[in-house]
Chain A
Amino acid sequence: MADTEAILRTIDLTRSFDMVKAADAINVTMGHGELVGIVGANGSGKTTFLNLITGYVKPDHGRILMMGHDCTGLSPRRITKLGIARSFQVPQLYTGLSVRENVLLSLAAASGNSASFWGPLYRRPWLGESGEILDRFGLKSYAERSVAELPEGGRKLLDIALSFALKPRLLLMDEPTSGVSVEDKFQVMDTLVRVLRESDITTIFVEHDMEVVQRYSRRVLVFDNGRVMADGDPISVLADVEVRKAVLGRE
């Protein structure tokens, strides 16, 4: 497969923590426009995989290629600049600022104009764009309010909106619906999937809930002990007995 076709390619990605292999020779290729779910039991290496790709954790072996460019060992900041953004299981927000200001800072960072110390943050093009983004994520009514006033589902969405505002080619989401109530879960996912499809952003998301994965992804990776034990369309993969045993434990 030609590297230019793949948005992301990992080659033998390996990382151990104190003898435990959190990532064990992971080979994954992601094509443009894919929406891939990752499932696995606690400690199976899902989050480590995201941390490796975004440079938060450095691999012991292996390489990471982003559209053919080697970005192994780069800092999170450099990797972000290359077009990989991520959201977090626990939303990482600027809690003392308003919802809109959070988005404005992402837009400022993405513009490469963030060292500007004379022009205001509230400038017209960014204001318009932030309004559009908040609208898409259904957060517009909270725009001028403090982040502290957002309900948990809103915080999750804002965390993803901050990554989205960077206009990434690849977005990694760590459990976008954890902490969101069961009733709101599907609504959050509906919003996300719609926005990401519209914007043509390739997405990987880690998810606990099999139903969510089944419903929204077209491809699922199953992690077990730092390895990819299955990779394919959700219906057949999640029906597999071995997979169910690995992900859910006893069943």
Chain B
Amino acid sequence: MWSNRPPLAALVGAVLLMAAPLVVPSWILFILTLALAKFMVVLAVALFLRAGLVSFGHGLFYAVGAYTVGFAVKWAGLREALLLVPLGTLCAAVVAACVGVVMARYRGVFFAMLNLAFSMIVYAALLKLYWLTGGTDGLGVRPPTFLGALPPRTIARMSYYYMTLAIAGGVIYAVYRFLASPLGYFLKALGENEIRIEYSGESARRVIYLTYILSGALGGLSGVLVAFTVGHIVPEYAFWIQSGEFVFVALLGGYGSVPGPLVGAIAFEFIRTYASKYAPEAWQMTLGLIMLAIILFRPGGLWTIYEALAGRFSQRWRGAESG
């Protein structure tokens, strides 16, 4: 059961994120946009973690989303955000619907490694099909237009930020509804007792399959938005280290809740930025130490720190009222 605590925290978080462009410098806005975009694929990975399934291959859908944009720009001259966002999401969902047929049969380490295998096939294809994908050089992505209009230079970064924020808001709403639905609960139940699911007449495979399509779509959406933000895409998007990073971030923020991956994604981008600035030789070690600390002291992720604090405060509040 994920905690349903924070209407207040959600409100404060939303206001902060909405006000950010007015107060923070442009480079921080860039990091925030990137974090919001990546949050969606981290959330996709977190969904499966709830069911006790780890995917080391969600880079696959991330890359499908990103390269859908890359191809559309390169081959069709298409750069309309309102078209590319649904298109990339749809392509990733279709790929997930195909891969998911196989994936829904596996659990545990096989699920993790099969995901990895599929993503590595795509990685190799992106690398080798130079004429199509640009190989290791990757593809440039020109800034997208909104209804055919390119935002003026001065507010370009801000408009991409707000677009990403709006989509992230929509994703949060949709995933909350999903988790509160029968399917969402069955997903949680899956990690606890598959026998009972089958003896209820429900199919565990179907639960995994449908979730897989959803998580593929989220991965694709993420890839599209990152492609817009960074402006350049490379085959590494499908590489297993990239997929591992998503799992890392999900653990960092906490996969038991929807805000967890968001907090994780923002924290991760800032840690990486500052660590590579102040400790360029040791930024990976910094990440390792932070993960170690999280697993040892806060296995529920960063978000549970907030939850614990909020819980203590509300208790004291109640105590003060009654006393």
Residues on A facing B (Cβ under 8 Å): 54, 75-77, 80-81, 85-86, 88, 92-98, 101, 104-106, 108-110, 113-122, 162-163, 166
Contact = CB atoms under 8 A, between A and B. Distances in A.
B192 A94 contact: yes
Given A117-B183, A117-B210, A77 B203 contact: yes
A117 B192 contact: no
B201 interface: yes
Contacts of A119: 181-182
Nearest to B190: A94
Contact of A162 (B186, B196, B210): B196
A124 B307 CA distance: 29
11 contacts: A77-B199, A77-B203, A94-B196, A108-B185, A109-B200, A114-B183, A117-B177, A117-B182, A117-B183, A122-B180, A166-B200
B184 interface: yes
B181 A117 contact: yes
A163 to B, nearest CB: 8
B193 A105 contact: no
| Interface residues of chain A: helix, strand, loop or mixed (majority) | loop
Which residue among B1, B181, B184, B200 has the maximum number of chain A CB atoms within 10 Å of its CB? B200
A118 B1 contact: no
Interface string B142-178: 0000000000000000000000000000000000011
A118 B183 CA distance: 9
B72 interface: no
Interface in B202-257: 202-203, 206, 210, 214
A225 B116 CA distance: 49
A117 B199 contact: no
Contacts of A120: 177, 180-181
Given A94-B189, A95-B193, A97-B188, A77 B180 contact: no
Given A86-B199, A94-B193, A105 B206 contact: no
B196 A113 contact: no
Given A93-B196, A115-B210, A121-B181, A110 B188 contact: no
B183 A95 contact: no
A192 to B, nearest CB: 18
A109 B195 contact: no
B198 interface: yes
Interface of B: 1, 177-178, 180-186, 188-189, 191-193, 195-203, 206, 210, 214
Contact of A80 (B184, B186, B199, B210): B199
A76 B199 contact: yes
A85 B181 contact: no
A12 to B, nearest CB: 26
B199 A115 contact: no
Given A80-B199, A110-B201, A116 B189 contact: no
Which residue among A80, A106, A115 has the maximum number of chain B CB atoms within 10 Å of its CB? A115
B131 to A, nearest CB: 40
Given A94-B189, A97-B1, A115-B206, A105 B182 contact: yes
B89 to A, nearest CB: 16
A101 B206 CA distance: 20
Contacts of B206: 115
Given A97-B188, A118-B177, A85 B182 contact: no
Given A92-B195, A115-B210, A117-B178, A97 B183 contact: no
Nearest to B201: A80
B52 to A, nearest CB: 10
Nearest to B183: A117
A250 B18 CA distance: 80
A110 B200 contact: yes
Contact of A77 (B177, B178, B181, B198): B198
B11 to A, nearest CB: 22
Given A77-B202, A96-B1, A110-B201, A115 B183 contact: yes
A152 to B, nearest CB: 17
Q: Which 6 A-B pairs have the closest CB atoms?
A: A109-B200, A108-B182, A80-B201, A94-B189, A109-B202, A92-B196
A121 B197 CA distance: 15
Contacts of B177: 117-118, 120
